[in-house]
């Protein structure tokens, strides 16, 4: 009884390169976009909603809390997500090329 061999891609082919770059760029852009849309929304929130952003929360203004404290854990979360997914992506790419488990 034999299963069909998993097809191994030629790593020098155009298809492999394109697939590679597309997936990597897509992951980077998605993480980047998530992060930066929040970051870049903050000045707009400050601009158009000054009273809301000035409300006092635990002693800070909401604006100060978001930028001076909460921003850093947010960065950590995005970095963590990206690192895990990009490592998984690399594993998958290596499998596609028939060289997993090294």
Partner 1 sequence: MYFSFPLALAVDPWILGLSALTVVVTVAMGFWTAGKSKTAGDFFVAGRSVSVGWNSSAISGEYLSAASFMGVAGMVMSKGYDALWYPVCYACGYLFLLLFIAGPLRRFGAYTIPDFAEGRYDSPLFRKIAVIFVLFIGFFYTMPQMKGAGTTLSYIFEAINLPYWVGVAVVGGIITFNVALGGMKGITLIQAVQYWAKMFAISIPIFVLMSVYGFYNLQVAANIPATESSPVERRALPEKAPADAAWISPFGPLTTSAAVKAGVPADEQRPYSLLYTYSLITAIVCGTAGLPHILVRFYTNPDGAAAKKTTMWVMILIGVFYMFPPMFGVMGRNLFPELYGALGVKGPDGIVLRLPVLLNEKYAPLGSILSGITCAGAFAAFMSTFSGLLVSMTGALAHDVYGRMLRPKSTPEQRLRAFKICAVLIGVVSVLLGMQVEQLEINFMVGQAFAIAASSYFPLLFLSAWWRGMTMKGAATGMLVGGMLAVAAISMTSFNDVMKVVDLATFWKSYPLLRILCEQPAIWATPLALVLMVLVSKLTRSEIPSDIRMKMLVLHAPEKLGLKREYIQEQGNAH
Question: Which parts of this chain interact with partner 1 (CB under 8 A)?
Answer: 11-12, 14, 17, 20-21, 24-25, 28, 31-32, 35, 39-40, 43-44, 46-47, 50, 53-54, 56, 58-61, 63-64, 67-69, 71-73, 75-76, 78-80, 82-83, 86-87, 90-91, 93-94, 97, 99, 102
How many CA atoms does the CB half-sphere of 36 hold within 13 Å? 6
Give the C-alpha separation, 72 to 79, whole Å. Answer: 11
The token pair at 43 is 């000045």
Nearer to partner 1 (CB atom), residue 3 or residue 11: 11
């Amino acid at each position: 009884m034999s299963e069909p061999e998993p097809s191994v891609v030629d790593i020098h082919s155009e298809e492999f390169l394109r697939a590679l770059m597309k997936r990597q760029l897509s992951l980077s852009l998605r993480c980047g976009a998530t992060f930066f849309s929040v970051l870049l929304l903050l000045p707009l929130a400050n601009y158009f909603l000054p009273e809301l952003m000035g409300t006092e929360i635990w002693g800070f203004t909401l604006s100060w809390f978001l930028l001076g404290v909460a921003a850093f854990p947010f960065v950590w979360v995005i970095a963590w997500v990206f690192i895990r997914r990009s490592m998984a992506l690399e594993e998958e790419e290596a499998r596609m090329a028939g060289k997993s488990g090294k």
